[in-house]
Chain A
Amino acid sequence: MSANNDVLLHVDNLVMHFPIYRGVFQRQVGAVHAVDGVSFDVKRGETLGLVGESGCGKSTTGRTILQLYKATAGKVLFDGADLMSLKREEMRWMRRQMQMIFQDPYASLNPRMTVADIVGEPLMVHNAATGKEIQERVAHLLELVNLSPSFAGRYPHEFSGGQRQRIGVARALALQPSFIVCDEPISALDVSIQAQVVNLLEELQEQFNLTYLFIAHDLSMVRHISKRVAVMYLGVIVELAERDELYSQPLHPYTQALLSAVPIPDPLADARRKRVILEGDVPSPVNPPSGCRFRTRCPIADKICAETRPEFRQLKPGHFVACHFAERFLQ
């Protein structure tokens, strides 16, 4: 593993299909192809942004990596350990290393538990601390996310959205994990509070050398926080590159369309640029298109796109793309 020592998480051809049952005998009549062959690496200490429209499978990817869903196929290596082959109890211990921050701070905190219980429970179940030590650790964690330790006895409904999300962050940090999946941690928050939480996440990353998988649909936010960015469409990753590379020279038509939709705060520049407007809707993940997933809405689609699924290939060092015609956009 010496060659890959800087890779913390390796995801190989991950597939997650949710079966659909119908009829009297509940026969399986199909499946939602939520994630359909996703591969990427996350390096130690970096932030990998994962963007895409809602419903494209980015949250499912995050949850499947953390084994909150049982994957249909594929491989997840975390620090060299194959997570899918772990027994339940072994996986439970593995969770000390990998935590998750959820999208909805209103739904993800148990309304019957006090803040101290919510943040302290991971410590208790993993025997990481006992008795008074738990209280001290909880107080310390709350300070870390800029909340007063005097809030420990309160219940989640007594807090605002931003405060709740910071409780969620404190909870995720409790076991001092090395890897955190941030599943749209700011999209449920007011814009004024988004920056607060993002800055907090960045500070904590620096302080504890955390590795993030940052899932979002806000391209500007991803650009701000990520080192590398992966773009997802209908269950597959269509492009992955270093942040600046991806934003300055997108090679996939879908990425181009996404980026052209980001508003520019300069009316003159905005008027000059070319907008790529996509036609139609995202196809159903129950019955995805053959070949390239994006071909039904792609402005440059051709015959080959319906026949063969484009390979996810490296066109430039560190720049991967899944498009038959990506060379056209190389400069």
Chain B
Amino acid sequence: MLTYIIRRLLLVPLLLFGVTVLIFAMLQFLTPVERSALYVRDIPKNENAIAGIIKQYGLDRPLYEQYWRWLVGRVDGITGERKGGIMFGDFGYSRTASQPVVDLIRNRFPNTLDLTIWAVAPVILVGIWLGVQAAVHQNGFIDQAARMFSIVGTSFPTFVFGLLMLMLFYANLQWFPPGRISDWANQVVFTDDFRHYTNLLTFDSLLNGRLDIFWDALRHMLMPILTLSYLSWATFLRVTRSSMLETLRMEYVTTARAKGLPERDVIFKHAQPNAMIPVVTLAGFSVVSLLGGVVITETVFNYPGIGQAAANAAAQLDVITVLGFALFNGFILIVSNLVVDVLYAVVDPRVRLS
């Protein structure tokens, strides 16, 4: 088990290197002039200004040199200060957000994480359980409802669903407010009394014992959560159900019954863990769709997370910021794949021991 994890960990630097090469290659689709234009706000009066920027930032140097400089930055000859270099956490300056990309991610990511935790946790806790129940009581009420829901769910695009929610519950019924948090709560959050343990607003408000703020944040998040997670509900339900149906027909389930196990143990100790293998695969895939869904959901609901920031940057051709987010997403994907691989080993001894 340990060697398995170590082997996987050794792959991570290699994957990270691949991600940076890919993203750097994409940047090369822009000519040096276009790239230098990122730093210029108006048409320069001096014709040599652009050429000066190209020379200063080495945009005309060979590719490997540019890549190396992008990776580790360069040391200023006079002050000895290191400038740039993504390895040292300098992802450049975001023009649209008027702050360094790293700070932008640092400010925005906790909001997105907060949202995704609340979107994913119920799916994993309840959705999988529902899928199991649907399979155990095949053709029963839960099963029929779950099947209906997953057909509707998988065939409904996120942005349509989100706009529909927005129209119904925000504009017409005015049940839920848009944004992140109400103004009064925002003022409380930025006082010194409010301690930021995790930077995740819902968890911090609970840890501070402020149920009113927790409730306010949740009210703002409910619609984004639904929009972001209904697709996961649908797919997790369907995959768990079909995998569970298959497992329940396996002979070792009959063996478990013949042993005289209570039916509860037959289902939750023998069948379900074996049925989880495709579900873990799905969990890996759903991280990808979640990262995409976050962009749309946060934009639709004006929720200040990294998805919204990335969409803003893309709309204003802020290449540096978009690249920063691309790198960050790549990093998240690598980490989540690692987690999925380890989960595989937990779920399936054949993976662990081979």
Which residues of A come within 8 Å of B, CB atoms? 26, 63, 66, 68, 88, 92-96, 99-100, 102, 104, 107-112, 121-122, 125-126, 155, 157-158, 168, 171, 175
Contact = CB atoms under 8 A, between A and B. Distances in A.
B45 interface: no
Given A102-B254, A112-B347, A158-B353, 6 more contacts: A95-B258, A110-B252, A111-B350, A112-B349, A121-B261, A122-B260
Contact of A125 (B254, B265, B347): B265
Contact of B255 (A96, A110, A125): A110
Interface in B336-354: 347-350, 353
Contact of A108 (B251, B347, B348, B349): B251
B190 to A, nearest CB: 50
Contact of B274 (A102, A111, A121): A111
25 contacts: A68-B254, A68-B257, A95-B259, A99-B259, A102-B251, A107-B250, A107-B252, A109-B252, A109-B255, A110-B256, A111-B252, A111-B348, A112-B274, A112-B347, A112-B348, A121-B256, A122-B259, A122-B260, A125-B259, A125-B262, A126-B260, A155-B350, A168-B255, A171-B255, A175-B260
- The 5 A-B residue pairs whose C-beta atoms are closest, nearest first, are A95-B260, A107-B251, A108-B251, A110-B252, A122-B259
A40 to B, nearest CB: 21
A108 B252 contact: yes
B238 interface: no
Contacts, number: 69
A312 B260 CA distance: 34
Contact of B349 (A66, A96, A155, A168): A155
B313 to A, nearest CB: 46
A26 B140 CA distance: 12
B270 interface: yes
A68 B252 CA distance: 13
B139 interface: yes
A95 B262 CA distance: 11
B273 interface: yes
Contacts of B257: 68
Contact of B353 (A94, A155, A171): A155
A252 B134 CA distance: 48
A26 B270 CA distance: 30
A122 B255 CA distance: 10
Nearest to A107: B251
A116 B184 CA distance: 60
Give the residue among B139, B258, B265, B273 with the most A Cβ atoms within 10 A.
B258
B252 to A, nearest CB: 4
Give the residue among B252, B259, B262, B353 with the most A Cβ atoms within 10 A.
B259
Contacts of B274: 110-112
Interface in B218-256: 250-252, 254-256
Contacts of B259: 95, 99, 121-122, 125, 171
Interface in B254-280: 254-263, 265, 270, 273-274
A168 B348 CA distance: 21
A66 B261 CA distance: 14
Nearest to B270: A110
A108 B259 CA distance: 12
Give the residue among A93, A100, A121 with the most B Cβ atoms within 10 A.
A121
Nearest to A157: B350
A68 B251 CA distance: 12
Contacts of A110: 252, 255-256, 270, 274
A100 B259 CA distance: 8
A66 B254 CA distance: 11
Contacts of B265: 125
Given A110-B270, A155-B350, A155-B353, A93 B260 contact: yes
B337 to A, nearest CB: 22
A111 B255 contact: no
A205 to B, nearest CB: 19
A104 B251 contact: yes
Nearest to B349: A155
B260 A96 contact: yes
Nearest to A121: B259
Contacts of A63: 254
A104 B251 CA distance: 8
A100 B258 contact: yes
Nearest to A122: B259
A157 B265 CA distance: 23
Given A26-B139, A125-B265, A111 B258 contact: no
Nearest to B271: A110
Contacts of A107: 250-252
Nearest to A125: B261
